[in-house]
Amino acid sequence: MSDIATHGGSADMLSKMIKRDEIDRYCKDGRDFIDDDAIRAEIADNAKPDKARVRDIIQKSLAIQTLSGPEVAALLAVDDPDLIAEMADAGWKVKHKVYDNRVVTFAPMYISSYCVNRCRYCGFSADNVREKRRCLTMDEIKTEAEAMIRGGHKRVMAVYGEHPMTGARFIADSLASIYSARVKMRRGECTVRRINVNAAPMSIDDLKIVHDAGIGTFQVFQETYDHKVYAAMHPADTVKGDYGWRVTCMHRAFDAGIDDVGLGVLFGLNPDWKFDVAAMCAHARELERFVNIGPHTFSVPRMHAASGSDVANAKSAFTDDDFFKAVLVLRLAVPYTGLIVTARESKELRDRCLRIGLTQMDAGTRIDIGGYSAANKEQKIDEQQFMLGDTRSLEEMIVDLAKQGVITSFCTAGYRCGRTGGCILDALKTGREGTFCKINAVLTYREWLDDFASPESIKACEPVIEAELAAIKEMYPKFFPTVMERYNRICAGERDLYF
Ligand code: SF4
């Protein structure tokens, strides 16, 4: 193990990893596009919106239009329970208009716990000597992918710490290992169909390498957009200590040819959570301005207990109600964007968010390195980045969703049909993608039930398929026979059919 593996970076390493000209080109007069003072002024100026204005803003969301900074600030200020209920109802409608009645599921694969950074809230911090570190080999990554496939997963989020060992070439090779995994299940061979990547910011050349490996969404979370809080949480002598390198990463991603990106905030880090909601929306609008393509997803991870971190283990003032409100405002602020609420949160809170329009949930989640293929299924704080709040299996979550009338989707068609970037966002804004979402959810649900579910789970989930097929027949009567032709082929054992 090199010194860098456990003791953080050096000035030489920072200058190698951070390309200053690839920050400056996206800044104006040396300043990045997040203007803290302007965002704070918007929040202060819109602290008392009247009901009529809030209702006008809700109408704009229902028309699937991105909200302006003052409009986001106005929604953040709403505390009238009746208006909150109207916003929640609108969130549900927006989600159904854009993504229909489905929740996409995925599972994260944590590939390495080595990191050169020393983020004060993270168990993987290079300062944390208690963490038992591990980086999977290519064979182990394939074995882990096989274990995930056996668990019913088809969409993987590959997660990497920031370290020279796990640079762009390593990421590309690891994605090839995951894609190479094949497992025979009841009705034939199953594979991972799409890998999204959550990684550190990279240079344009490195992002091209990752892009060419075949990825879905590329995620980099800013953690907090507040420059001062960011500086307090990320030591200046680390790579992540460079706010500008991180916040401009998605601009570089687009310039590298990646057209599907995900943003995120680590809630609980910044006491002023409303600032971070407003700033992430400002980031989305900046990407719309830059390439006319906003983020495909917002993620809303929250700080949870982590090994060796006083910050993460301190009691947070950020409550479940704050979390709910943050999700609600994000749902309305950028209506075409998918919303991911992960297994960090409890089942109860995820169910609340489901009713206001979350679109993606992980399940059967393991975040220890090699956790899916390990015999021991217990969470261990010294072997993972943080502790999970929802440890339901994938099957349990699917059945729970079915009982609420919601279909779980394993669809990866958008990525594989070229419906990404501007194309997917146009389709989402006009509701066209919702049609594909609805039909592909049924096809992939049928596959999953036939390949993985117990007889009891199949019984619980069949009414959802019947209801969705009936709705498709009513909405698209001319197209319905084509849908049924593919559905019947899947029932007969064919796999991976989609629209
Ligand atoms: S938050 Fe990410 S970058 Fe920071 S120490 Fe943890 S793994 Fe490394």
274-300 pLDDT, tens digit per residue, is: 999 999 999 999 999 999 999 999 999
Amino acid of residue 204: I
Is the sign of the CA dihedral 451, 455, 460, 462 positive or negative? positive
Mean pLDDT of the chain, nearest integer: 93
What integer pLDDT is reported at residue 309 of this predicted model? 84
Tokens of 442: 């049924």
State the pLDDT at residue 484.
97
What confidence tens digit (pLDDT) does each residue in 156-184 have? 999 999 999 999 999 999 999 999 999 99
Mention every residue, 6+ apart, whose C-beta is less than 8 A from residue 479.
Answer: 472
pLDDT of residue 174: 98
Average pLDDT over residues 188-213: 96
What pLDDT score was predicted for residue 311?
A: 84
- How many angstroms is it from 14 CA to the middle of ligand 1? 15
| Smallest CA separation from ligand 1 atom 3, residue | 117
Kindly give the number of the ligand 1 atom that is closest to the alpha carbon of 123: 6
Neighbours of 214 (CB within 10 A): 14
Q: How far is the CA of 126 from the centre of ligand 1 (A)?
A: 8
**Confidence bin at 421 (pLDDT 50/70/90):** confident
Q: Could you tell me which of 358, 323, 353, 324 has the C-alpha nearest to residue 338?
A: 358
331-373 pLDDT tens trace: 999 999 999 999 999 999 999 999 999 999 999 999 999 999 9
Report the candidate in 362, 268, 256 with the shortest Cα–Cα distance to residue 320: 268
Which of 195, 187, 327 is closest to 260 using CA atoms?
A: 195
How far, in Å, CA of 271 to CA of 433, rounded?
A: 37
> Which residue reads 């496939």 in tokens?
149
The residues near 376 (Cβ < 8 Å, ≥ 6 apart) are none
Higher-confidence position of 194 and 314 = 194
Opening angle at CA 80, ends 75 and 85, nearest 5: 75
Q: Which residues does 72 contact at the CB level (< 8 Å), separation at least 6?
A: 42, 277, 278, 281, 329, 333
- The DSSP secondary structure of 421-451, one letter per residue, reads HHHHHHHHHHTHHHHHHHHHHHHHHHHHHHH
**Mean per-residue pLDDT, 20-44:** 97
Q: Which two tokens stand for residue 24?
A: 């400056």
Q: Is the distance from CB of 312 to CB of 306 less than 8 angstroms?
A: yes
What is the C-alpha separation between 98 and 64, in angstroms, rounded? Answer: 8
- Shortest-distance atom of ligand 1 to CA 161: 7
Determine the distance separating the centroid of ligand 1 and the alpha carbon of 8, expressed in angstroms: 11
The reply to whether ligand 1 has any atom less than 6 angstroms from the CB of 162 is yes
Determine which of 90-94, 262-266, 382-386 has the lowest per-residue pLDDT on average. 382-386
Structure tokens, 172: 């590309």
What does DSSP assign to residue 408?
A: E
- Any idea how long the chain is? 499
More confident residue, 126 or 379: 126
> What is residue 10's predicted lDDT score, i.e. its pLDDT?
66
Q: What is the pLDDT of residues 206-229, one digit of tens each?
A: 999 999 999 999 999 999 999 999
Q: CA 74 to CA 333: how far, in whole Å?
A: 11
Cβ neighbors of 449 (< 8 A, separation 6 or more) are 457, 458, 461, 462, 465
User: What is the pLDDT at residue 1?
Assistant: 38
pLDDT for residue 23 is more than 90: yes
Q: What is the pLDDT of residue 405?
A: 96
115 lines ligand 1 (CB under 6 A): yes
Query: H or E element: which one contains 219?
Result: strand 218-219
- 281 half-sphere exposure, CB direction, 13 A CA radius: 31
Check if 122 has its Cβ closer than 6 Å to any atom of ligand 1.
yes
The predicted pLDDT at position 13 comes to 77
pLDDT (tens digit, 9 = 90+) per residue, 224-274?
999 999 999 999 999 999 999 999 999 999 999 999 999 999 999 999 999
Whether residue 119 has its Cβ less than 6 Å from ligand 1 = yes
Q: d(Cα 424, Cα 433) in Å, to the nearest integer?
A: 7
Total Cβ atoms within 10 A of residue 416: 15
Pairing of strands 183-185, 188-190: antiparallel
Residue nearest ligand 1's atom 5 by CA: 125
Domain ranges of the chain: 3-32+91-394
What stretches of 201-346 show up as alpha helix (H) in DSSP?
204-212, 227-233, 243-247, 249-255, 273-291, 310-313, 320-333
Specify the amino acid at residue 376: N
pTM of the model: 0.94
| % residues pLDDT > 90 (the chain) | 83
Q: Is 125 in the pocket of ligand 1 (CB under 6 A)?
A: yes
For residue 7, pLDDT beyond 50:
no
Specify the pLDDT at position 76. Answer: 98
**Banded pLDDT at 2 (limits 50, 70, 90):** very low
- Pocket perturbation via mutation, ligand 1, pick of 113, 119, 163, 243 by most ligand atoms within 8 A of CB: 119
How many CB atoms lie under 10 A from the CB of residue 475?
14
Decide if pLDDT at 11 tops 90.
Answer: no
Q: Span 106-125, mean pLDDT?
A: 94
**Long-range contacts of 450-453, Cβ-Cβ distance < 8 Å, separation of 24 or more:** 450/186, 450/187, 450/490, 450/491, 451/152, 451/185, 451/186, 451/187, 451/188, 451/190, 452/152, 452/185, 452/186, 452/395, 453/395, 453/398
Structure-model confidence comparison of residues 5 and 200, the more confident one = 200
Q: Give, as one character, the DSSP assignment of residue 151.
A: T
**The domain defined by 3-32+91-394 carries CATH number 3.40.50.360:** no
Ligand 1 and 219: CB distance under 6 A: no
- The answer to whether the CB of 436 falls within 8 A of the CB of 414 is yes
**pLDDT for 9:** 55
Q: Which of 127, 240, 269 to mutate to test the pocket of ligand 1 (most atoms within 8 A of CB)?
A: 240
Mean pLDDT of 417-443: 78
Rg of the Cα trace of the chain? 22
* 401 pLDDT more than 70: yes
> Which among 4, 110, 117, 368 is the best mutation to test ligand 1's pocket, defined by most ligand atoms within 8 Å of the CB?
117
Residue 20 above 60 pLDDT? Answer: yes
Q: What type of residue is 343? A: A
